[in-house]
Structure 1
Amino acid sequence: MIIKCDFHIHSCVSPCGDLSMSPSYIAEVLAEKGVKLAALTDHNTALNCPAFAAACKKFGIAALYGMEVQSQEEVHVLSLFSDLQTALDFSNEIYDMLPPIMNNPEKTGDQVYVDENDDILGEVEKYLITSADLSIDDLEKRIHALGGLCIPAHVDRPAFSLMSQFGFIPEGNYDAVEVTRIPPVTTDPYTNKQVPLDTLHYHLTTSSDAHYPEHIARRPFDLDIGDIPLIKKDGTVNLDAVREGLSKRPTSASF
């Protein structure tokens, strides 16, 4: 079975996200665009994931829950879980590791989390687009210890990526890496021309990184999970099926 996926979506709790990006609205648009498996990945928080879970159930979308965590090195990493409570517990861990910089909504944007009816439940106090006190290596280990998926985000971008912070794609125990286009390219610093990006042996995904309604599902990817059931008996996404599908995704050596 091949399913259409989007693993990188921001909601209204991300300060750079539009206030119209409520979890219920996101799920509605995903359904309209034929996405069958999606993840909500706000900056350093999973507080809108409960509403996302309810909305995805309503629209028949399989849901993953997580965050786009910013590591000590200012690398953005997707942490994805099939269990909602695990995602929320990890969200609390990450929040405690953020610096004590308070958000100023007038300057940096609102950080509101809502219920399934779009009613505001509260506002996150700390500014969310900062680095957690956790290295990318330790972040990967923690995500996997909790049974989740670790996918470095937009590795081909000139900011907050493996390439921007390290200058190359380092070895790591990642389940995949996200790129903004396939085949991936980068800018040669000497010629300022685009050249192929070597992403080593990692399997590649694309996702929308949506912050606004028109961005939702703009870069979906197909996941071939074969005959493995996507949903387990307890109603959660079968991450073994997702891992199987990711293992079939192309690498940079495929081109």
Structure 2
Amino acid sequence: MGRWCIDLHNHSCLSPCGSDAMLPAVLAMEGADKGIDILALTDHNSGRNLPAFAQACEIIGITGVFGLEVTTSEEVHVLSLFETLEEALSFSAWIESILPKIANSSRLFGNQLVCDVTGTIIEEADIFLYGPAEIPFDILIEKTLQSNGLVIPAHIDRPANSVTANLGFLPELPYSAVESIAFPPIVDTYGYTVTQGSDAHYIEHIGRRRCYIESESVGFAALRDAFSRNAVSYLGI
């Protein structure tokens, strides 16, 4: 049985709140340097930088997880994570289709840069990606699981854009896990498996929070199994 380091919450230069220096390949390289075995890219409401991230993870030799941080209609942030690039891109296209048709203002909100594995900018997303998608929290949970993904309410102990802050409680739903910034969590997690992720928007944030799964192998199936067994441990524990 091995102990594998995971960090399932990170942004790239596609997220308007992220640094332009957060190239997908930089995320993969820094993650590997920090000893992370399973690393996810989860930009806001879009997976347009996932192809570059997938290439970088393959070159560097770490396990990439392909995801989005979706904002629900209640403005709750949720991580929708997928094993394959194709699954993630299909889900991303659907989420983008139900976003408000608001043009991004890079001056007001930040750039939304799409790049290739070398860091070359190939386009800039024109629709504002940070806004709420037209999907309720419970339906997003259902749709992610139906799409063969893992679903994790993000930073449930944060005073904004979290399920506990925006809904006032953690509904009893079939989450794969829940994410907490603090450990031990400062809110009731009701027995759900708890993860920690960096929520990195800047290079120096990569690896600042992580946790570990206990598994005989490394990969998406190992994540799913470890979450189902609550086989997660934390720094120093």
Counterpart contact for 1:205–1:249, Cα < 8 Å: no
Q: Deviations over 1:39-62 (max 9, x none)?
A: 100000001000000111111110
| 1:215 aligned to which of 202, 205, 208 | 205
Partners of 1:17 and 1:90 lie apart in 2 by: 21
TM-score by length of 1: 0.88
Any runs of at least 4 consecutive aligned residues in structure 1 with deviations exceeding 6 A, and if so which?
none
The alignment-based identity, stated in percent, is 42
Counterpart position of 1:37: 38
Q: After the TM superposition, which residues 82-231 of structure 1 pair with which residues of structure 2 at under 5 Å, given as runs?
A: 82-185=83-186, 197-225=187-215, 227=216, 229-230=217-218
CA contact (8 A) 1:6 1:208 kept: yes
Kindly state the Cα deviation for residue 12 of structure 1 after the two structures are TM-superposed. 0.1
Residue 248 (1) aligns with residue 227 (2): no
CA shift, 1:249, in A, is: 4.1
* CA–CA distance in structure 1, aligned partners of residues 29 and 65 of structure 2: 16
SS at match of 2:166: helix
Letter in 2 for 1:110: N
Segments of structure 2 that go 5 or more residues without pairing to the other structure are: none
TM-score relative to the length of structure 2: 0.95
**Residue 34 of structure 1 aligns to which amino acid in structure 2?**
G
Aligned length: 231
Equivalent residues of 2:30, 2:206 under 8 A apart:
yes
Provide the C-alpha distance between the structure 1 equivalents of 2:93 and 2:197, rounded to a whole number of angstroms.
25
Question: Which runs of 5 or more structure 1 residues have no equivalent in the other structure?
Answer: 186-196, 231-236
- Equivalent positions of 1:41-60 (< 5 A) are 41-60=42-61
User: Contact conserved, 1:204 with 1:249, CA < 8 A, in 2?
Assistant: no
Q: Distance in 2 between matches of 1:212 and 1:15?
A: 12
Shift of residue 198, structure 1, vs aligned partner: 1.0
Structure showing greater radius of gyration is: 1
